[in-house]
Amino acid sequence: MRSRLLWVLLLLLGIGALVLVLRHDQGTIAGFETGDFASLIYKIALLIFIGGAVLALFRERIAEAFQAAIFWVVIGLLLAVGYTYRHDLRDIGDRVLSELLPGRAVSRSGGIVEIARGNRGEFAVIAEINGARISTVYDTGASAVVLTQEAAKAAGLPLDFLNYSVAVETANGRTRAAPVTLDRIKVGGITERAVPALIAQPGQLRTSLLGMSFLSRLKSSEVRGDRLVLRAN
């Protein structure tokens, strides 16, 4: 019975191929565009080949063959769905990671970056400064980006040649900081170059600050509920 069915399918496939050869210049075949009809014949041939291979492998174990076929069909559908909605899935993944890892920037279209509020109520921002990942705190009250000694060292700045000539106010009181220019600051998909910054004296600052020398270059920076939204120019 299976052999007879296979021969019938092969006969139909041969007829379809013959019709395609004879009427390839007609534009349409049985209501299909010629290209669509050729694609249909190809897919039927592929299906027959796969079906024949499965039957040859499993022979009397038809139930197992059916289960295997269903398994691979489901896998194929999942892969197709995943590929079709890959951008949406990536956005969902970014949102989940931003909630689990406060400070992780999530980039959106249109030059928008979002950051979730941290457990202590502040917005910790992981910034890439001169190629180094630095933990900072969003602070519109800071006139400039201010780095701790440790952050400055990680960013490759020359600590031995600093001139602490700028008076600044910190949580620990009045102190002095050294002016520098950062080659690059990157937060998510936003990148700014040649950004003026300050380096605090040793022991005067616990966390680096993402201040106005970077923020003022953006089109906007605002807090929306539990999210910080940065928009590039």
Mean pLDDT in consecutive groups of 10 residues from the start of the chain, 233 residues: 58 65 58 64 67 62 64 67 61 59 74 85 91 92 93 93 85 81 94 96 90 95 90 91
Q: What three-state secondary structure class fits 21? A: helix
Q: What is the pLDDT of residue 157?
A: 94
Other beta carbons within 10 Å of 100: 9
Q: What is the pLDDT of residue 28?
A: 62
Q: Exposed/middle/buried for 86, CB within 10 Å: 0-12, 13-18, 19+? A: exposed
Domains along the chain?
Answer: 2-84 (no CATH), 102-231 (2.40.70.10)
* DSSP string of 144-208, one letter each residue: SEEE-HHHHHHTT--GGG----EEEEETTEEEEEEEEEEEEEEETTEEEEEEEEEEEPTTS-SSE
Q: What is the pLDDT of residue 36?
A: 66
Question: What's the number of CA atoms in the CB half-sphere (13 Å) around residue 233?
Answer: 7
Other beta carbons within 10 Å of 95: 13
